[in-house]
Chain A
Amino acid sequence: MNKLETLKQSLQGKFKIENYKFIHAVGDDVLEVPKEDVPALLKYLHDSGAFDFLMDVCGVDYPNRAKRFDVVYHLFSSKDSSRLRVKAQVGENESIGTAIPAYRGADWFEREAYDMFGIKFDGHMNLRRILTHHQFVGHPLRKDYDANLQQACTTSMPIHFNNEPGSPGDVLNEKYVPLNIGPAHTAMHGTLRVMAEMDGETIVRCNNEIGYLHRCFEKMAETHPYNQVIPYTDRLNYCSAPMNNIGYCKAVERLLGVEIPPKAQAMRVILAELSRIIDHTIAIGTGAMDLGALTSFFYMFGLREKTYGLFEKLCGARLTVSMTRVGGMAQDAPEGWFDEVLALCKEIRKGTDEMASMVVDNKIFINRTRGICPVSAQDAIQWGYTGPLLRASGVNLDLRKAQPYYGYDALDFDVPVGTSGDIYDRYLVRFEEMRQSVRIIEQVCKNVPGGDYTIRDKGIVLPEKKDVYGNIEGLMNHFMLIIKGLRPPVGEVYDATEAANGELGFYLVSDGSANPYRLKVRPPCFAIYQSYPTVVKGAQLADAIATIASMNLIAGELDR
């Protein structure tokens, strides 16, 4: 009996399931329900233990339909790694009940759906704009909003806590000192903004504001053909760009129903693990820098530069490689590249050990991070944590083990798990993950499969340049694919990979045209960062900075 049948039986008698639609679409289980049932249904699914994670909430706009919007909930179970998509239709001026009582982490996702589509969620205590600026008019991801219609913002939002300006959250307590940190602040990473109310050195209230780097990724994806979206995905998590390429291409390939050749899989695994290593080097290097240790930054960037050297050899670019294509890789690896990767592995292993002795064995570092702002396993799951932060809290969940792809199940590696979920554990987990990634790369590099680096489907992959310039068939094939674009069948798919920060999911809706109809990214740090005010409440100011560093927030994927 499949999962959907089991679900049907368990829901029988509790809900009016004759109104429900149980669909099995492109390998995903989908449940379409009336919007009135959603809060109760989600509550039931959560409390019965069937699905403990809410990965994402998003909207889809169908302007020609009677009920204009789809609200889509992506659920995940850590027990059997099954997924369920719950969909409900909402009209233009209607609202839907909030999912926060069932899943705490629905907070920001619902705010985002409100910001982008104007879908209202009843019972949400803080439903206001999150990604666009506060003077913005309209909802940009609606199909009738022009992608190029900019609206000027003239002032910054004043310090506020949780509520609309003008309501009690905007009124500051005279006993305490309001403190604004960022965006662009000595202690803050780039575009993040934290507003705190201080009692001496202790944080009484805290609020964070995002959207300073909202670059409209999803709107851009809707206005570009499938392959041209790849460079945009690079710039989501720019610390580990190849992993975003891979996640996106994997989703499109699943919708197309193609499997890439073994060599492409091997190259993707190597690229992904190298990216994981360099992402962790940045997280650790800049994290230690936030705690006052500048040496680690220079040390870690030494390792990173060497990895960049290999990326440059592979494709000519350093940071934003755009190396994957739908159907495989853009080109083959140059001669001897895999041996160079193996040589680099030795250096990374040595560098990681040296670095670990400098950071996590350092008494000052330990005192600054151990026992600071811990997050329990239950809280982490409620907020929708994934990746190193979830594992630091003691939950053994890694998609490379839970839902293996690209032959990860055949590789020998361990998943490090922490105990307390404090800042120290997060760094320990990252160091161990770097070592495990080296193990993976070595296994793959010693045994690279032969064969082609891409599939040769003429409707999907461009022909090689020698054919384009050498014979008429290749030229016509190239021309047609550029003009017409590759066109996946009508349908939708949610596909996730284990990126450096956690689960990177792509929800892709295709209407059969050359552009994605809707592309929703599930960025790992979006779910993580929304818990920040709760995590640092009552902590010292310096601990709050240490916490933000340990979360490894990448504004590109946070704001998209």
Chain B
Amino acid sequence: MQNEHGAEGTQAIDDMSRDIAFTTKLDAIVAWGRKNSLWPMPYGTACCGIEFMSVMGPKYDLARFGAEVARFSPRQADLLVVAGTITEKMAPVITRIYQQMLEPKYVISMGACASSGGFYRAYHVLQGVDKVIPVDVYIPGCPPTPEAVMDGIMALQRMIATHQPRPWKDNWKNPYEQA
């Protein structure tokens, strides 16, 4: 038997759609999908980068959070994990990397250095990566334990699921752009 579209294979789907209904809003299901398929780009510059490797590694296994596919290309990632000290020399680079990421994009600042410069109150260290790019979640620690990183990722997932407003991102302007 053919349906109105004339394709036989879609019969089963047609039947199913008559029997089953998902009662949800479109944006809710999109958010659910987004939060469970984060593709992190580890921007590991220093110690935190090693600790982030542990989070990806066999014991802590970030794959359980759907954030399994670590990509080192900004074009293939939607979550920038800034793991390590960002120096003044690195700041233009990370801004560019952030710009190259596709929407929707999120940023986690992992560890004391990335969040505030940490105990490097020093001439060549950027005093927090939020000076150049918008940060959604800050993870404390030097370096944070893997458990803390997971907590940070779960916090971000809650943010995505509940459509938290993100004024820091909406109002962000590239500090290196010519006015």
Q: Are A216 and B124 in contact (CB under 8 A)?
A: yes
**Which B80-123 residues sit within 8 Å CB-CB of chain A?**
84-85, 87-94, 97, 113, 119-123
Q: A149-B123, A153-B92, A556-B46 are in contact. Are A214 and B87 (CB under 8 A)?
A: yes
Residue B176 is within 8 A (CB to CB) of chain A in the complex = yes
A416 CB–B CB distance under 8 Å: no
- Tell yes or no: B51 within 8 A of A by CB: yes
Q: Is the CB of B50 within 8 A of A148?
A: no
Cβ of A149: which chain B residues have Cβ within 8 Å of it? Answer: 123
Interface: A298 (CB within 8 A): yes
If the complex has contacts A185-B72, A238-B50, A302-B57, are A215 and B122 also in contact, measured as CB distance less than 8 A?
A: yes
In the complex, which residues of chain B have a beta carbon less than 8 angstroms from the beta carbon of A156?
92-93
* Interface residue count on the A side (C-beta < 8 Å): 52
A321 CA to B171 CA, complexed, in Å: 40
Asked if B89 and A132 sit within 8 Å, CB to CB, the answer is yes
In contact, A190 and B46 (Cβ under 8 angstroms): yes
Q: Is B64 an interface residue (CB 8 A)?
A: no
> Is A298 touching B58 in the complex (CB atoms < 8 A)?
yes
- A209 and chain B: residue at smallest CB distance: B89
B89's partner among A133, A147, A220, A299 (CB-CB below 8 A) is A133
Contact among A148, A186, A318 with B51 in the assembled complex (CB-CB below 8 Å): A318
Q: Is the CB of A220 within 8 A of B122?
A: yes
- A235 on interface, CB distance cutoff 8 Å: yes
Q: Which residues of A contact B127 (CB under 8 A)?
A: 150
Q: Is the CB of A190 within 8 A of B92?
A: no
Task: Report the Cα distance A358→B46, complex, angstroms.
Answer: 28
Partner of A214, one of B47, B49, B91, B124: B124
Closest Cβ of chain A to B118, distance in Å, is: 9
Among B72, B123, B142, B145, the most chain A Cβ lie within 10 Å of the Cβ of: B123
Chain B residues closer than 8 Å to A136, beta-carbon distance: 124
- Cβ-based interface call for B143 (8 A): yes
Q: Which A residues between 177 and 228 are near B, CB-CB below 8 angstroms?
A: 183-186, 190-191, 211-216, 219-220
User: Known contacts A190-B45, A319-B51, A320-B142: does B122 contact A153 (CB below 8 Å)?
Assistant: no
Assess whether A212 is in contact with B123, with CB atoms less than 8 Å apart: no
A150 touches B54 (CB 8 A): no
Report Cα–Cα, A156/B46, bound state, in Å.
Answer: 20
Instruction: Give the residues from 300 to 345 in chain A that come closer than 8 angstroms, CB to CB, to chain B.
Output: 301-302, 304-305, 308, 318-320
- Measured in the bound complex, the distance between the Cα atoms of B120 and A220 in whole Å is 7
Q: Is B10 an interface residue (CB 8 A)?
A: no
Q: How far is the CA of A121 from the CA of B143 in the complex (A)?
A: 39
Whether the Cβ atoms of A555 and B143 lie closer than 8 Å is no
Pick the contact of B46 from A146, A152, A184, A235 — CB < 8 Å?
A235
CB of A231 within 8 Å of the partner chain: yes
A190 touches B124 (CB 8 A): no
B25 at interface, CB cutoff 8 A: no
Q: Please tell me the number of chain B residues within 8 Å of chain A, measured between CB atoms.
A: 40
CA distance A298 to B176 in the complex (A): 39
The reply on A545 being an interface residue by CB < 8 A is: no
Q: Looking at the complex, which one of A186, A190, A298, A305 makes contact with B44 (CB distance below 8 Å)?
A: A190
**Residues in B46-86 with C-beta less than 8 Å from chain A:** 46-47, 49-51, 53-54, 57-59, 72-73, 84-85
Name the A residues within 8 Å of B93 (CB-CB).
156, 183-184, 212
Query: Is there a chain A Cβ closer than 8 Å to B138's Cβ?
Result: no
Interchain CB contact under 8 A, A213 and B84: yes
Asked if B125 lies at the interface with its beta carbon under 8 angstroms from chain A, I say yes
**Contact of A190 with B49 in the complex, beta carbons under 8 Å:** yes
Contacts of B54 in A (CB 8 A): 301, 304-305, 308, 318
- A452: shortest Cβ distance to chain B, in Å? 30
B98 → chain A closest CB, angstroms: 11
Is B39 interfacial (CB 8 A cutoff)?
no
B90 engages A191 (CB within 8 Å): yes
Q: What's the nearest-Cβ distance from chain B to residue A547, in Å?
A: 19
Shortest CB-to-CB span from B122 to chain A, Å, is: 4
Bitwise interface map of B from 125 to 150 toward A, beta carbon under 8 Å scored 1, else 0: 11100000000000000110100000
Does A374 lie at the interface of the complex (its beta carbon under 8 Å from any beta carbon of B)? no
CB-defined contacts of A320 to chain B, threshold 8 Å: 47, 142-143
Q: Is there contact, CB below 8 Å, between A216 and B58?
A: no
A148 to chain B, nearest CB (A): 5
- The distance in angstroms between the C-alpha atoms of A235 and B87, with both chains bound, is 15
Contacts A183-B93, A185-B72, A301-B57 given; does A212 touch B45 at CB 8 Å: yes
Q: A304–B49 Cα gap in the complex (Å)?
A: 15
Query: Beyond A184-B97, A301-B58, A301-B59, is A147–B123 a contact (Cβ under 8 Å)?
Result: yes
Distance to closest chain B CB from A277 (angstroms): 15
CA distance A555 to B46 in the complex (A): 7
B122 touches A238 (CB 8 A): no
Say if the beta carbon of A535 comes within 8 Å of chain B.
no
Expressed in whole angstroms, the Cα–Cα distance for A132 and B89 within the complex equals 7
- A151 CB within 8 Å of chain B: yes
How near does chain B come to A347, taking the closest CB pair, in angstroms?
A: 14
Query: When the two chains form their complex, are residues B87 and A213 in contact, meaning their CB atoms are under 8 A apart?
Result: yes
Q: Within the complex, which residue of A150, A213, A219, A231 is in contact with B85, where a contact is CB–CB below 8 Å?
A: A213
A318 B145 Cβ-Cβ under 8 A? yes
Chain A residues lying within 8 Å of B126, measured Cβ to Cβ, are 150
CB proximity of A304 to chain B, nearest CB, Å:
7
**Could you tell me the distance between the alpha carbons of A214 and B125 in the complex, rounded to whole angstroms?**
8
Residues of chain A with a CB closer than 8 A to B50's CB: 238-239, 282, 319
Asked if B120 and A305 make an inter-chain contact with CB atoms under 8 angstroms apart, the answer reads: no
Which of B45, B49, B94 has the most CB atoms of chain A within a 10 A radius of its CB? Answer: B45
A488 is an interface residue with CB less than 8 A from chain B: no
The residue that A216 contacts in the complex, of B44, B51, B59, B123, with Cβ under 8 A, is B123
Distance in angstroms between the alpha carbons of A378 and B92 in the assembled complex: 40
* CB <8 Å contact, B125 and A301: no
* A302 close to B59 (CB less than 8 A): yes
User: Which residue from chain A places its CB closest to the CB of B113 in the assembled complex?
Assistant: A215
A212 to B44 alpha-carbon distance, docked (Å): 12
A298 touches B89 (CB 8 A): no
7 inter-chain pairs at a CB distance below 8 angstroms, sorted by A residue, are A184-B94, A184-B97, A212-B93, A214-B124, A215-B122, A238-B47, A301-B54
Q: Given contacts A211-B89, A234-B47, A319-B47, list 14 more A-B pairs with CB under 8 A.
A: A131-B124, A150-B88, A150-B122, A151-B88, A155-B92, A156-B93, A184-B97, A190-B45, A213-B46, A213-B84, A213-B87, A215-B122, A298-B57, A555-B46
